[in-house]
Amino acid sequence: MIIDELGFVPFDRAGDEKLTTALLDRLSHHAHILTPKGSSYPAPWAQGGLGVDRKRAPNRPRCAITVPLRRFTTATIRKDHGQHEDIATLICATVGRLPHPARTARVSEEHGATPLLRLPMKRTMIAGGVFAAVLVILALALALALARDRSHRAPEQDVDSATATSPAIIPPTAEATEAHQGFLYGRITTIGGAVYSGRLRWGGEEEAFWGDYFNGLKAENPWVAHVPPEQLMERRPLKIFGVEVAQRERQIDLDRPFMARFGDIARIEAEGRDLRVTLKSGTLFHLNRFAADDFADGVRVWDGRSGGVDLNERRIRILEHLPTDRLGAVPGRLHGTVRTRQSDFTGFVQWDREKCVGTDELDGHTADGELSLRFDTIRSIARKSRDSSLVTLLDGREIVLSGNREVGHGNRGIYVDDQRYGRVLVSWDAFERLDFSPGGSGPAYDDFPPGRPLAGNVTTRAGRRLAGRLIYDLDESETTETLDAPSQGVDYTIPFGLIASIVLPGREERGVQRARVTLHSGEELRLESHGDLGERNAGMLIFVDGGEPPVYVPWTDVQQVELDRPAAMYPPLGGRDTTSPPKS
């Protein structure tokens, strides 16, 4: 498989095994081969963050062959264990300024990677390396040319299970439009002018449904201009060895992440450093293109004429969302009930924040070695210990999996799209059990109505009441944007359109402070004073009766926020009563 800016090109279409073997023979001549062990490690920021869907690192053990071609040029071959053990099937030629090979190997080892090849840097080897580089480049050019003739097709995932069919799998005989309505669908125009239309999946194997979230970082904050600069300063203690020696003054953090469900987005357009995201409401957000995590991962589109095409961020010019058309065979979406000590949550599920369809696999170790189980063969997953899970298959067999991050305390959490709250993230510490059940593919694109401006009133601790259009945390301004806060190991991501009121704890309250968040359904949640309910909240803007300038209220002065009920919302207002409410 060749990896370049065009995406993934299978060798059975772009070349043959003899070519692969010849390339490997040239590159591995006189090399010392070391076998790596252990899983890959995600970057520190990938371990989570309240309310922000971080990117995932692969779970399978990986290794890298780094072959010096000249001082600042390398060719890198990666092998994904467990896929094709007979030959290395992933080849990536990278040309650019890189550190000295010795330092490269040392840095790789410091970050958990084990160099597969170490080559002495002699003049003869440098000359031979240059020759090898020419061979690699010529082979890549030939393979890519053939790949273009084959329309850059990427294989569709196999949706036929060799075992019993899971309740979470969409039957292929169902009404196609309704059964597949939850899958992302759209039209992509590339920089070169090519147009692809069809089902979409971000990162190739990540976000796939209208209820999933697109994440990025806002490039600007237009609401800051309405606040006097001196009111955006904060004083923080300066401590040495735990002893406060002074106070320092600085501006509060005004950088804000962007989060929007794909069903709320109409269009994404890239130009230079700017990534413009237009919501269905017409609101335009400018994101920092090089901090937009999901966009950086690229997108796979299953085009009716070209098949599966992987597009990286440099090739995408415009992405337009469209209602999902009839699709061919597609994997079923995972749905079930996640049980915790405090409550149960039912809805569409993403295991370890990522795995969301029946053809995805659960990886772990048993007494007999490594084992991967497709989710469409699993009936339930229960936490057995801090580092292991008990998996019950559809045929009744029980298997204990351990030795892998996703079946133990390294699990990054389980997303559940519970219609009462929008979305929750259940941490491994809170998780007890997941039981799968049928659920279809989820809401359609047209089920997400355009957002409306937030409106309501704010009551200050001094008793002043201000009504009008609201800007929450100098950031959220529409009903489709979300309130993010935790409670007992569960992070809630609640669209503001579902919230009736927020009552903050009194300053005199001791212990774990909790805010009372009442939904339009009548349910009351007791959420901890963190995230959007914490001290880092930048305060409220109130455009009283639509007038200018707005009134600014610091968060420390806010006692209560009441929000108007929107005319339409997804999830539908009132929610459902299929699960037990959380206990305070």
Tens-place pLDDT, residues 458-517: 999 999 999 999 999 999 999 999 999 999 999 999 999 999 999 999 876 655 689 999
What pLDDT, on the 0 to 100 scale, is given for residue 328?
84
Q: Predicted confidence band at 309 (pLDDT cuts at 50, 70, 90)?
A: very high
Tens-place pLDDT, residues 428-445: 999 999 999 999 999 999
DSSP state of 408: S
Q: Could you give the CA distance from residue 480 to residue 261 in angstroms, rounded to a whole number?
A: 8
CA distances from 351 to 288, 298, 405, 431 (A): 29, 21, 12, 11
The partner residues of 339 in beta bridges, in order of sequence, read 344, 433
Tens-place pLDDT, residues 222-237: 999 999 888 887 777 7
From the list 523, 528, 469, 482, the residue with the least C-alpha distance to 504 is: 528
Q: Could you give the CA distance from residue 556 to residue 87 in angstroms, rounded to a whole number?
A: 62
From the list 215, 173, 211, 156, the residue with the least C-alpha distance to 10 is: 156
pLDDT exceeds 50 at position 42: no
Q: Is 414 exposed, middle or buried (0-12, 13-18, 19+ CB in 10 A)?
A: buried
276 against 125, higher pLDDT:
276
| CA-based max dimension of the chain | 82
Task: Return the structure tokens found at 151.
Answer: 């329309």
pTM confidence score: 0.70
Residue 387 near residue 409, CB atoms below 8 Å = yes
Task: Return the structure tokens found at 389.
Answer: 């899970």
pLDDT exceeds 80 at position 566: yes
Collapse the DSSP code of 123 into the 3-class scheme (helix H, G, I; strand E, B; otherwise coil) and give the result: helix
Q: Predicted confidence band at 104 (pLDDT cuts at 50, 70, 90)?
A: very low
Q: Could you give the CA distance from residue 264 to residue 481 in angstroms, rounded to a whole number?
A: 10
DSSP state of 521: T
Residue 423 near residue 259, CB atoms below 8 Å = no
Torsion of CA 175, 179, 180, 183, to 10 degrees: 170
